[in-house]
Structure formats: C-alpha cells, structure tokens
Structure 1
Amino acid sequence: MPAMAPDKTLIVIVGPTGIGKTALAISLARQFSTEIISADSRQFFREMEIGTAKPSAAELTAAHHHFINSHSIQTFFSTGDFELQAIDLINHLFRKHELLVMVGGSGLYIDAVCNGLDELPETDLNIREKLNQQLATEGLEPIKRQLSVADPEYYQKVDQANPQRLIRGLEFYLSTGKKLSTHFTNNKKIRPFNIIKIGLNINRAELYNRINHRVDKMMEAGLLDEVKSLQPFRKYNALNTVGYAELFSHLDGEMTLTAAVDQIKQNTRRFAKRQLTWFRRDNSITWFEPGQDNAVISYIIEKKD
C-alpha cells in the first residue's frame, strides 16, 4: 500500500437502518468539501432502488457518492471484494481530499475497511453446492438452524434474511470445523490514515416509529411494483433480503399484502436491533442523536486537531 500522510482522516458514520445516516453524511461532505463512500451492502445493487432506501436524486447531487448502484444483482460481490475496492478508492480520493466520509449500516463491510479481513482458508465448493440445493428444496430455515448451532456468534451478527451469508458461515464450518466468526478482524490491519467513528441512535420507540413510517413510504413509492419487476431475478441472493423476500411471498399467494408489510416492519426492526448489537461492541464509536450535525462537526474538528 502506498505511503500516506498521517493527517488523512476517514469519518465513519454507523447506526441502525432508518436513523438518518445519509443526511449526516451529506452534511459532513458539504461541510468539509469531500466525497461519500457507501458501505451499505444492499445499495450497491442498481436494480434495488426503493426497498434499499438509497439516497434520492437530490441527495446524490448534493454530494458525490461512491458504491451506490455500482453493481448488478447478478454479480457476486463479497465483503472481501468490497475491502479491496474500497481501500483502492480511498487511497485514490485521499490524493485530493484531506477527509473522506464512509457511511453505512453493514457492520461486516465497515469492519473490512477499518480493520481488514483475515485471510480465510479455502472451503469445499461441493459443500456450498449441497447447501444451495438444500436452500432450493427446503428453504432457509433448516440452514438457519444449523448455523445457529454451529456458529452462534456469526449467526447473531449476520443478516439472517440473506441466504448467501448464512450459507457462507455454514459452508466454512462444515469445510474447516472452525467458526467463521473467529476469523473476522483477529489480526487488525493498520490503515495509513486516521479513523473517526460516529454512531447515530435514538430511543427504541422513536427508532421503531421511524422504521415503520419509512416502510409505509416505500410502499407508497411503489415498492410492490419494484418487486414485481424483479421476479425474473429472484433466484439471486441479493434479493433474498428484508423488503423483497416478504413481498415475493405475498406475490406467491402465501400471505396478504397487509401481512407482508407488517412482516417487513417487524423484520426491519429486528435487523436494526442486530445492527446496534454489532456496533455497540466497538468502544471507538462516539454516539450522537440525529440532528446533532453541528455537535458532530465540532467533535470531528477537535479530534483532527
């Protein structure tokens, strides 16, 4: 990795879904005349628009974003791929900026950039194929049960609606006899730039109200039509996620639309709870409430000086 001046700083904004991370990221990007790197694993995919709560056209215009609509759902894009591409981009952007902003709620992707991922031993591709076949014939629940027993730590942290990541954890355990959770950030990589981590959170009742309201707004914006348009691609793992999986079940006649929307809200609230569990283990995060932009800016300036 090329040498870099120690005064370069990466601002990392984390927190649960629906908390207002995008608004804060744009506020900071405008304040410091810099660019934003998205670390939201669902917003990479250009076909998934409404259900991933991507920044609006106005927000994308307000600040230059990277890794929004950067990949197709038909492309496999792993955490390791993101680490390599994001670090290359950061090195490039630091040539013209003293400070960059990274924002997202995907803990694995945040950790990949801040701490690096361990080199993992190879796994048995035959096991992966068998697990994919099991997914196709039996659904996700048996895989979730197996993983929760084999590697409960990874199971608690992973997006439990994402078959690709669940299968990855179980595949690793069945191939190596070891837990995938023990291989994340055991040997922290030293990055040639400073990192300041900002967390956003509010009381649970208000957060859950925000989540419920945002799901309603997604439905009003046409999420059901978006999911209908993606039915030919539903085999791709990127679509086996909250907001899409429930509406596919509705379109299959398995539940009413009202029940599907209620399930989206419930699953999103559960996801937010897991996100907070993940981020709260990181003592280097300084927490603020949404709307405290000036306090965050003052804190960053103080930490940089």
Structure 2
Amino acid sequence: MPIQINKTVIFLMGPTTSGKTDLAIQLSQQFKTRLISVDSALIYKGMDIGTAKPDKVILKKYPHHLIDICNPEDSYSAFDFTHDANAQIKTAFANNELPILVGGTSFYFHALEYGLSKLPKSNPKSKKKFNQLLKSKGTIALHQNLKKIDPQAANRIHPNDAQRITRALEVFDLSGKTLSELQGNKKSIINHPIKKIILMPERSELHQRIEKRFLSMMGNGFLGEVKTLKQNPNLHENLPAIRCVGYRQAWQYLNGEIGKAEIIEKAIIATRQLCKRQSTWLKSETDALLLQNTDIQQVLDFIQL
C-alpha cells in the first residue's frame, strides 16, 4: 500500500558507519523517495574512496542529491547547504516524493531545523581573500586574529576549524560587525513536519566497522586518490576538504611527515573521535526513533504514524 507522506521531511541520522545509506536504499525500495545527502565531505568531486561515497552503481540506481557538487578547493557554507537542501525538498514534494535527508553532518541538520543567523553573503572576491590568508598564515594564526575581534566566537570555534574561523573573519570584514553580534533571530528553513530516525549501534560495533572500513579504503586505492588531489595546485592542507578525516593524515604521509602505519592509526583514531562527537550530539535529540539495528518495518510504521 502506498505511504501517505503528507509533505513530511525525514531526517535519517547517525554516526559514521552506522548504516544510514543502506537504510535509505531500503526505504527507496519501498516507495518513491528523493535522497538528499547531509554530508560536508560528500559534496566534493574526486573525493570518493576516503569519504566512503556510495559507488557509481548505487548512485545511478538510487541517486543521492547534493553529492559531487563542489571542487575540493571551493568554499561551501551551511548557508549554501540550507539553500540547496530546501530546493531539493521543494522538488521532492512537487514530484510527490518523500524527501529523506541522510547523513552525519550535525551542523547541517541543525541549520535546516533551527535556521541560521542573517549574515552577509560571501562573494568570490572575499572567498579568495580569506583562502589566501588561510594558505599563508594557517588556522592557528587566524584563530588568534579572531580572538582579538570576536572572543566569544573564538571560544566556540576550534583552532583547527578552518572553515568556521575564516567565515567568522569574513563576516566581520564584510559587515563591520562580529559573528556574535549578528547571531540570533533564527528561523527554521523547513516549513513542514520533520520526523527523525537515528541509527545508533553499540560503540564497540562502530569502532570495529570504522577500522574495517578504513583498512578497506587503503586497499582500494585511497592513497592514490590523495596523490591525484595533491597534483591540484589550488589545494593545501588548511582547506576544509583536505582537513576531512583520513585526507589530512594521507596528506601528511605524502608530505613525508608521518609513516604509513601512522596514517592508519591516526585516521582510525580521528574517525572514532568524529563518531563520538556525532553520537554526543545525537543523544540530545529527544523526539526521534532511535534504533540500534536497522528494522525496516519499525521505520515504515514510524513514518506512517
């Protein structure tokens, strides 16, 4: 029997390796859906192995929108994401599809549900300016600059978070006001009911999956993928794309800074730390269907409530 969706938006969330993509595909086999990726790494072209991007066969049969929409040197903000995701949601409803937003980037989900502050829009000239500053000075120095301008924002933003640091500095440069001054008066991007599904296997299981997956990536040519990226003169280690888990460690290896065994150890540790951050954020969600293991019937029943 066809599911009556009544313009409901599905958030399919979970930490890395929790099985979100598999569940999204199972749902697409049950009824008409539009899968919308909520992942700040899958947006980049040419970064397939290290991001665990669904392969071409899967993407052809079950298209995931908002994958491969940027070059690794491009800037892509949460504002850009909310604009693009909202357009995809509208297209889904126009086509009588159920929009399923699937991924692990918590800030993107939060921005969609609760909105973003009204900040000055970035432009090519500004992006170029701050990308050059990032390349010449590095994240730590720019974070120190931010401390002087906007201590409140600097305390919230990690000194290695290049994207958020440069955005905070850019906001001040464009508007003359700090990010902290401008934040507030948020409004949800989505004007439809949201139903949340969280996949949360046991932590020990997630850790095993993380290790197994990264070893598989190494065997499937991950270092070759990063070597190709390094040939692009526009890329450097301070860009958000190259700071993605795994890519940062591989970049260091190719620079001769660490050994091959260290790539594996450091990347697995960094992925587990990411998993912990994602899990901590998801624990604050009180209005979601929480599943330790995929149960398609339970999910279908929840969607149809």
- Contact kept, 8 Å, 1:161 with 1:241, in 2: the verdict is no
**1:1-305 aligned within 5 A:** 7-120=6-119, 135-137=134-136, 139-141=138-140, 150-151=152-153, 154-155=156-157, 162-169=161-168, 176-179=177-180, 183=183, 187-189=186-188, 191-233=190-232, 234-235=235-236, 236-302=239-305
C-alpha distance after superposition, 1:238-266 (max 9, x if no partner): 22221111111111111101101111111
Secondary structure of the corresponding residue to residue 273 of structure 1: helix
User: Deviation at 1:57?
Assistant: 2.5
Once residues 288 and 155 of structure 2 are traced to their aligned partners in structure 1, the CA distance between those partners, rounded to angstroms, is 21
Farther off after superposition, 59-68 or 11-20: 59-68
Once residues 243 and 86 of structure 1 are traced to their aligned partners in structure 2, the CA distance between those partners, rounded to angstroms, is 26
C-alpha distance after superposition, 1:251-305 (max 9, x if no partner): 1111101101111111111111111222322323321123222221221122xxx
- Contact kept, 8 Å, 1:30 with 1:63, in 2: the verdict is no
Farther off after superposition, 32-41 or 53-62: 53-62
Once residues 104 and 160 of structure 2 are traced to their aligned partners in structure 1, the CA distance between those partners, rounded to angstroms, is 15
Farther off after superposition, 162-171 or 229-238: 162-171
Once residues 57 and 199 of structure 1 are traced to their aligned partners in structure 2, the CA distance between those partners, rounded to angstroms, is 26
C-alpha distance after superposition, 1:134-176 (max 9, x if no partner): 64355444556787974477437xxx76522333246558964
C-alpha distance after superposition, 1:97-138 (max 9, x if no partner): 252211011112122333322212579x99988975664355
Once residues 177 and 103 of structure 2 are traced to their aligned partners in structure 1, the CA distance between those partners, rounded to angstroms, is 31
Given the two structures, how large is their TM-score scaled by the length of structure 1? 0.83
Sort the Cα spacing of 1:294 and 1:90 in 2 relative to 1 into closer, same or farther, 3 A: same
How many residues were matched structurally? 293
Secondary structure of the corresponding residue to residue 289 of structure 2: strand
- Contact kept, 8 Å, 2:42 with 2:51, in 1: the verdict is yes
Given the two structures, how large is their TM-score scaled by the length of structure 2? 0.83
Flag structure 1 segments of 5+ consecutive residues without an equivalent: none
- Contact kept, 8 Å, 1:172 with 1:179, in 2: the verdict is no
Aligned-CA RMSD value: 3.2
Secondary structure of the corresponding residue to residue 52 of structure 1: coil
Once residues 214 and 32 of structure 2 are traced to their aligned partners in structure 1, the CA distance between those partners, rounded to angstroms, is 32
Identity among equivalent positions (%) equals 33
Q: Structure 2 counterpart of 1:179, which letter?
A: S
Once residues 66 and 53 of structure 2 are traced to their aligned partners in structure 1, the CA distance between those partners, rounded to angstroms, is 11
Once residues 192 and 220 of structure 1 are traced to their aligned partners in structure 2, the CA distance between those partners, rounded to angstroms, is 44
Flag structure 2 segments of 5+ consecutive residues without an equivalent: none
Sort the Cα spacing of 1:249 and 1:6 in 2 relative to 1 into closer, same or farther, 3 A: closer
